Amino acid sequence: MFEEYLTAPTTEGKVKQLIGFLVQQPADDISIDFNFKEVDPDRAEYFNTMVAEALSTYFNVPSEPEDIEGLNTVQDVINRVENA
């Protein structure tokens, strides 16, 4: 599912594309400190689920939605990928 959206050559670029897709904003508008959960706090559970799915299936970083609860920014997600 994510392969068609995550085409950037770097992890940072891919994470920005992922977050942009989830919040329906262009990846170019997503900064490293962009807090994706502030965009729509009512959808935090959705974001947790989708980010966990992307980390598990695309980035090969086994994750559950609960693992994502403490992640809020693009940098947080990048750190999880790079430190796995």
The pLDDT tens digits of the residues spanning 16-41 come to 999 999 999 999 999 999 999 999 99
CA distances (Å), origin 2, targets 42, 66, 70, 71: 23, 20, 22, 19
pTM, two decimals, is 0.93
Per domain, the residue ranges of the chain are 11-82
CB 6 within 8 A of CB 14: yes
CB 19 within 8 A of CB 72: no
Assigned superfamily of 11-82: ACP-like (1.10.1200.10)
At 5, the pLDDT band (50, 70, 90 cuts) reads confident
